[in-house]
Structures are given as C-alpha cells and as structure tokens.
C-alpha cells in the first residue's frame, strides 16, 4: 500500500530524515518507535504531504530552507510531489500530534466540520460510525471541545480523521500526554478499528510498551535513521528495545 524509498529531509543543513525506507501492506498496523526528536513527526509530515506546505510557507517568508529527497509510493502511485489535500482525496489521512480541534465548537460540530467535503447524505452515517468506535464521545456530543479531557480530545481528533474514510490512517503520537487508563482505551479503540473496518494504520510513538503488542510490524528510528525493524513480537523480545524503552 505504501512504500517509502530512501527518504531524506533537510532543514537548512540539519538532516531530519536520513535515507529512511519502509513499507506498509494493506490491513496492517505499523508502528514507528523512537525517542523525542528521532524524526517521527517529520516522517509523518512528509508522508502526508504537510512538509510541502511547510516548505512553501518558509520560502514565502524567506525562512528555513527545506529540502526533500527520495520517493513515496501510495497504492502504486508516486505521490512525492502531490499536495496534501490531494493525498487526503486518495485516502491518506493524518491525525497530527496534538491535532488541532475547534475548541469553541461542540463535539458534533467538530465532526461535521471535518466532513465538510463529505456528501450530506453520507455524513450522518460517518458520524455515527465515529461514535461507535469511540462510545465515550456520544454523551459528550454537545460539549465544547475545549472542555474535553486530553484523552477525549484525542479521540475526537482521530474521529475527525476517520470521517474522511481513510484507506491509510496516520496517527502521530496519539498517546502523548494521556493517562495510562486513557492510553489503554485508545489502544483498544485502534485495535477494534482494524478488526472491524480493515483499515490500515501507521502509528508513531515514543511510548513503545502499549503499542508493540498491537502492531504487525515495527520500525525503530534513531536520529532520523532506521535502527531496527521487525514484528511487534520480535521488537518486544529485543534486549535493546527493552533497555531503551522499557527500562529493563
């Protein structure tokens, strides 16, 4: 479904991604694990195309020069230079780290805003599907999003991405800042999402312990480079992963 080939991203002379390659097959949950500043968010921004917007904005204001090399293939098509909104139309949707929600609008309004390009006849059903995946949001549908807890806001952010019916859902650090209980709830929802809809999911996280049991395969990033790759079970049993991420 997705193939990343020898991806390199420079911010001025600083390298953020260094010859990074990976693949994602249909129906998989793929994890990309790495510490803070390992390059995970840059990888997500590059796959989703947001890096193109960032590059254009920096050029306009005479700011930081962003340079991108390598290829990104999505369902057999080279999308390296495709704009982010076009990638969304193709089914590649990103739920960003600390995804911006509309704090002054209620939960139901946020979901409708996310589906502004969806046919009205389909939108109500898609909203119901989000409530089925995240039942905790249903009784909160009239609550202003700014008054939700961190975990509830993250559920809403992912729900807003799901409204677009992605073929590949990119989740950038969805567990960041959540309590252990909320992390567990979110991991269960992600697992159910794959089982019930067959959606393909890519997760980046620095919290490896809750993610590794649910992924089919994983990649470990260090300083923008691929350090390790394997199945979730292989990575869990790897002594280097245990030492670096589990403290054992």
User: 92-95 and 168-172 as β-strands: parallel, antiparallel, unpaired?
Assistant: parallel
Phi/psi at 142 (5° precision): -100, 5
pLDDT, one tens digit per residue, over 59-80 is 898 888 999 999 999 999 999 9
Domain-located, residue 22: no
Under DSSP, the state recorded for 146 is G
**pLDDT over 60 (residue 148):** yes
Residue 99: pLDDT band (50, 70, 90) is low
Task: Measure the CA–CA gap between 46 and 49, rounded to whole angstroms.
Answer: 5
Do the Cβ atoms of 34 and 220 come closer than 8 Å? yes
Whole-number Cα distances in Å, 217 to 20, 176, 197: 16, 21, 19
Task: Measure the CA–CA gap between 174 and 183, rounded to whole angstroms.
Answer: 9
Domain-located, residue 179: no
**pLDDT over 80 (residue 44):** yes
Q: Which two tokens stand for residue 207?
A: 């919290």
Q: By C-alpha distance, which of 163, 153, 154 is closest to 130?
A: 163
Averaged pLDDT, 116-129? 87
Give the other-Cβ count within 10 Å of 147's Cβ: 11
Residue 246: pLDDT band (50, 70, 90) is low
Domain-located, residue 150: yes
Domain-located, residue 217: no
**pLDDT over 80 (residue 9):** yes
Consecutive H or E run containing 108 = helix 107-114
Domain-located, residue 42: no
Contact partners, residue 130, CB within 8 Å, separation at least 6: 111, 137, 159, 162, 163
**pLDDT over 60 (residue 198):** yes
**pLDDT over 80 (residue 242):** no
Give the other-Cβ count within 10 Å of 85's Cβ: 10
pTM for the model: 0.91
Q: Domain limits at 130?
A: 92-165
Dihedral (Cα; 49, 54, 55, 56), 10-degree rounding:
100
Domain-located, residue 237: no
Domain-located, residue 20: no
Domain-located, residue 154: yes
Task: Measure the CA–CA gap between 190 and 204, rounded to whole angstroms.
Answer: 13
Task: Measure the CA–CA gap between 53 and 38, rounded to whole angstroms.
Answer: 21
Residue 180: pLDDT band (50, 70, 90) is confident
Q: How many domains does the chain divide into?
A: 1
**pLDDT over 80 (residue 243):** no
């Amino acid at each position: 479904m997705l193939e990343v080939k020898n991806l390199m991203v420079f911010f001025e002379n600083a390298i953020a991604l260094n010859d990074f390659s990976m693949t994602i097959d249909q129906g998989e949950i793929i994890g990309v694990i790495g510490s803070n500043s390992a390059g995970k968010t840059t990888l997500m921004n590059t796959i989703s195309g947001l890096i193109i917007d960032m590059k254009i904005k920096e050029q306009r204001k005479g700011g930081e020069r962003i340079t991108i090399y390598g290829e990104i293939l999505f369902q057999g098509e080279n999308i390296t230079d495709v704009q982010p909104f076009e990638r969304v139309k193709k089914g590649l949707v990103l739920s960003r780290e600390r995804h911006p929600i509309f704090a002054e609008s209620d939960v139901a309004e946020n979901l409708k805003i996310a589906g502004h390009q969806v046919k009205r006849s389909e939108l109500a059903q898609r909203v119901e599907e989000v409530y089925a995946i995240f039942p905790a949001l249903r009784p909160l549908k009239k609550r202003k999003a700014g008054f939700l807890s961190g975990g509830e806001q993250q559920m809403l952010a992912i729900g807003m991405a799901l409204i677009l019916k992605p073929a590949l859902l990119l989740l950038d650090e969805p567990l960041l800042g959540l309590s252990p209980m909320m992390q567990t709830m979110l991991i269960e929802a992600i697992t159910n999402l794959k089982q019930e809809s067959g959606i393909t999911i890519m997760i980046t996280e620095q919290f490896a312990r809750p993610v590794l049991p649910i992924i089919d395969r994983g990649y470990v990033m260090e300083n923008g480079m691929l350090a390790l790759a394997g199945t979730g079970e292989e990575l869990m049993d790897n002594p280097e992963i245990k030492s670096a991420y589990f403290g054992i």
